[in-house]
Chain A
Amino acid sequence: MALDAFLEGLSIATSGQMLVWLTLGLLLGIILGALPGIGSPVGMAIVLPLTLPLDATAAIILLVAIYSGAMFGGSISAILINAPGTESAAATTLDGYPMSKNGLAKNALAIATTASALNGFLAAIALIVLSPLLIEVVLAFGSPEYFLLAILGISLITIVTQGSIVKGLVAGALGFMISTIGTAILSPRPRYTFGQFGLYEGIDFVAALIGMFAFAEMMKLAARKQISEDDVEIAGNVRDGILAVFKYPVTTLKSGLIGMGIGMVPGSGATTSTFVAYAEEARSSTKDGKFGEGDPRGVIAPEAANNPTVSGSLIPTLSFGIPGSGSTAVLLGGILMHGLQPGPVLFGEQLQITYALFISLFLGNILILVVGLTLIPYASRITELDTNVIIPMVVVLSFAGAFTLNQNWWDVGAVIALGLLGFYMVRNNYSIIAFVLGIVLGPIAEENFFRSLQISGGEYRIFIHPIEQPLSFLLSLAILLILFGPFLKGRFEQAVTSG
């Protein structure tokens, strides 16, 4: 069955139409990723409603290609102007920008392209090989486990994104709460609509994604004049940059494994994996390293880690519906919007779509290499764009896209309202990813919550019984440890210190 699905996926992914979407997505992703303030979640959120006329596979391939392309694109502005286009490229600035200042911008960009593409390519192969194992794991999960996984995802995000756990929980619960506006899932009872017919279908989570990412980001961008205030000069040698990646094979492969491993953890994203890869490289090369001053390994490590993180993060997103980052939250939104269900369905009857996606990722990384290396001499032009040109166009696309979802003006209003909320949440250190995750996962969490209670006859112990529901018990335990672990650890250390 898996082989048949793989062959069908291969034929889908290599069809002319899919290759066009893949190439388009990658180009778009590289450009959007290179624009600080836009990045992959914003770009994907804007494009999401436009994928409505596409079939599900094409839409998801397009979104994953944008995500993958943006991962590389983010490093362009990180290297050239010290402003990462995506959060995942933040670690690249540490040595990428000093390399650029040392007249080695082309080398740094070539390193970023080669390391990203090479490891992304290897990670896609690993994903294809690993998927039969995933199928077994996914099939072991039932309704209580899916509900608890949604809570676990939000809990993990609260500790991955720095800040107060209570703030993270409030953000996630607020997202769940907003998702309950509209007709109830299990009974046709309208909730919190206050008689407004336009709210009967609730606030579309895609509109929420556009608001939280695109509109809120434009509010931030409004205060900046230009992507880059300085003139950028691109000097150096592309060939030397490519060779540098092969000169450090251990760094490249080790960082790729770190990227994929961390990406697989629900709730973590490329920002974490790239910094961990960088820190590990700096730690293991303390003797001869000039990290922070333009060491090529300081660019190889984060760049070799970021694209495998995309592959790794697809595992919790596709198998359990738990995205680890803003981009994967938007991707999950796309999956749900196109009627696909993460979990057993994507790894069962629709396995060919999952394989098509993995194969596209594999092909996409080859394209990143070709397109990325070709674009290097022109890369600086992207950073010269005026923000006043970008903002009105993004607003127009956001509003039109939100209206496209259900032809409902409330969705356009939600873009503005949630954009404002997102802007202030970020300013006050609330995790907007937890909030967005709450909105996206709300209906899934609610449905599985009630199914679980129906199974147990209304007994809440279905979520915590160690004998009858061992998996649920372990997940509940994990949630408690994540939420209270750091606090208890602090108390324990305090008690040990004081005697």
Chain B
Amino acid sequence: MLLTFLVVSAVFIIEPAVENYPDDARVFPQLTASVVFIGSLLLLSQNYLPDPLHKFVAKSVSITSSDEDTIAADESDQEDEATADEEYKKDTIGAEYGYEVNETVFMVSTAILYFIVGWSAGFLFATPLYILAYTLWFRVNPALSVGLAVLGTVVIYLFMTYLVLPFDQGHIFDFSPLLPLFLDASTTFPGGGA
């Protein structure tokens, strides 16, 4: 994570010089990126810093607690610890077939997939599929799953209708002309549908 911060802040420092940004577009981001860069560098090298500097970088300070211990040196250790603490296995369809997928990984992966399908084919069509897939995977009552999928679709439809959003159109697939086949043909969609 600190390496990511270092790389990103370095880009923010170098890019204005390479692209020749004017002063009023350059100074503030470069200053803030410098703070991130120096701070990340200090955190990354905290175990090798001289004692006073090490204390300044690693000391935990809080006005809500008297605990002033130094923070753990290795971020990855904390991460493993946190994962172990929170680990909880849910009953899933995958488990029945021998596929053990971490719940958080599953949540993020399906959300990314939902985003991609929504972008390419429209949120109106991706939403019920996403909700059904997510809830059925975790063995939510099928009737409740279908109910939630309908509710989610209605929410998206309301966004389309009242906020005039093109959720029925994707950037790759456009199923919007098919909508009247499913709904009343006289319905008009402010979001750009039929």
* Residues of chain A whose beta carbon lies under 8 Å from any beta carbon of chain B: 52-53, 158-167, 169-170, 173-174, 176-177, 180, 184-187, 189, 191-192, 215, 218-220, 222-225, 268, 271-272, 275, 386, 388-389, 391-393, 395-397, 399-400, 403-404, 407, 409, 412-413, 416, 420, 423-425, 427-429, 438, 445-446, 449-450, 486-487, 490-491
Given the contacts A164-B43, A487-B56, A428 and B64 also touching, CB distance less than 8 Å: no
- A33, B174: Cα distance in complex, Å: 39
Give the shortest distance, in Å, between B80 (CB) and chain A (any CB): 10
* A163-B71, A164-B58, A184-B21 known, 18 other contacts, Cβ within 8 Å: A162-B61, A164-B60, A166-B56, A170-B43, A173-B33, A173-B35, A174-B32, A192-B12, A219-B107, A223-B103, A224-B86, A272-B64, A388-B138, A396-B130, A400-B159, A445-B28, A446-B28, A487-B56
A166–B152 touching, CB < 8 Å:
no
Q: Which of chain A's residues has its CB closest to B57's CB?
A: A166
A189–B22 touching, CB < 8 Å:
yes
**Of A176, A388, A423, A491, which is in contact with the most chain B CB atoms at under 10 Å from its CB?**
A388
What residues of chain A lie closer than 8 Å to B118, measured between beta carbons?
Answer: 399, 412
A167–B43 touching, CB < 8 Å:
yes
Given the contacts A174-B36, A272-B63, A396-B131, A429 and B111 also touching, CB distance less than 8 Å: no
Q: Which of chain A's residues has its CB closest to B32's CB?
A: A176
A487–B59 touching, CB < 8 Å:
yes
Contact among A166, A407, A416 for B43, CB-based, below 8 A = A166
Given the contacts A386-B140, A409-B119, A160 and B64 also touching, CB distance less than 8 Å: yes
- A388, B93: Cα distance in complex, Å: 13
Q: Which of chain B's residues has its CB closest to A275's CB?
A: B64
> What are 24 A-B pairs with beta-carbon distances under 8 A?
A159-B63, A160-B63, A166-B56, A173-B39, A176-B29, A177-B29, A180-B28, A184-B21, A191-B25, A192-B11, A220-B104, A225-B90, A271-B64, A396-B131, A396-B152, A399-B115, A400-B156, A407-B165, A413-B115, A416-B112, A423-B104, A424-B79, A429-B71, A450-B24
- A337, B73: Cα distance in complex, Å: 40
What residues of chain A lie closer than 8 Å to B162, measured between beta carbons?
Answer: 53
* Residues of chain B whose beta carbon lies under 8 Å from any beta carbon of chain A: 1, 5, 8-9, 11-12, 15-16, 21-22, 24-25, 27-29, 32-33, 35-36, 39-40, 42-43, 52, 55-65, 67-68, 71, 75, 78-79, 82, 86-88, 90, 103-104, 106-108, 111-112, 114-115, 118-119, 123, 127, 130-131, 134-135, 138, 140, 144, 148, 151-152, 155-156, 159, 162-163, 165-167, 171
Contact among A219, A392, A427 for B135, CB-based, below 8 A = A392
- A169, B61: Cα distance in complex, Å: 13
Give the shortest distance, in Å, between A35 (CB) and chain B (any CB): 16
What residues of chain B lie closer than 8 Å to A218, measured between beta carbons?
Answer: 107
- A393, B104: Cα distance in complex, Å: 16
What residues of chain B lie closer than 8 Å to A52, measured between beta carbons?
Answer: 163
What residues of chain A lie closer than 8 Å to B15, measured between beta carbons?
Answer: 191-192
B32–A173 touching, CB < 8 Å:
yes
Contact among A166, A187, A413 for B42, CB-based, below 8 A = A166
- A161, B63: Cα distance in complex, Å: 8
